[in-house]
Chains A and B, each alone.
Chain A
């Protein structure tokens, strides 16, 4: 399943949801709002999406992950709106028969989500300024590591 939500991500329920009798491994990744990026302090992040396309791309990532690994079930959820430091912005839960498959599948899904899904974050810095995060693919962007 895939979901965009404005409410808190219930990661316990999400993890339970993907558990299957034939799957001996469940991996859940949580991305959380970090307080420091380089030497700058974040007080909150605002997330927005292009909703229809974001859901389409998340569904494609789910299908692609299922095609590459023996996934029992997989859930990708991204939260939108204002998130304070420490809150969960994204969750990916995957079950597979064995742990290596589950780790690889979860890693693949979150990496592709961060690369392809049209969602953006805006930094709300402690000095009161704000800044949309639009990473520069060629040379990297220190802000792009937020929530990893």
Chain B
């Protein structure tokens, strides 16, 4: 198992009450497994998470991408800059 630190922003940060959420995953694990684990930890964000992207090392990552404990992982809810 590995502990993944996930950076969260905006509504995610308000819901989790912190900037960084720790998620425990098997090793190796995919973005898809990360999403499932995040929903398990906080069911109320499932709708927003489904509309969100996951960033691995500052790049948008597909559900099959691998996540490792040393990567910089972030949940990117729909953006609203401008």
Count the B residues whose beta carbon is within 8 Å of the partner chain — how many?
19
Assess A135 versus B78: contact at CB under 8 Å? Given A56-B58, A118-B9.
Answer: yes
* B 53-82 to A, binary, CB cutoff 8 A, 1 in contact else 0: 001001100000000000010101111111
* A 92-131 to B, binary, CB cutoff 8 A, 1 in contact else 0: 0000000000000000001001111111111000000000
Q: Bound complex: CA of A121 vs CA of B79, how far in Å? A: 8
Chain A, interface SS category: mixed
Number of A-B contacts (CB under 8 A): 80
Chain A residues with Cβ below 8 Å from B77 are 120, 132, 134
Asked if A75 is at the interface (CB within 8 A of a chain B CB), the reply is no
Q: Which residues of B approach A to under 8 Å, CB–CB?
A: 7, 9-11, 14, 48, 51, 55, 58-59, 72, 74, 76-82
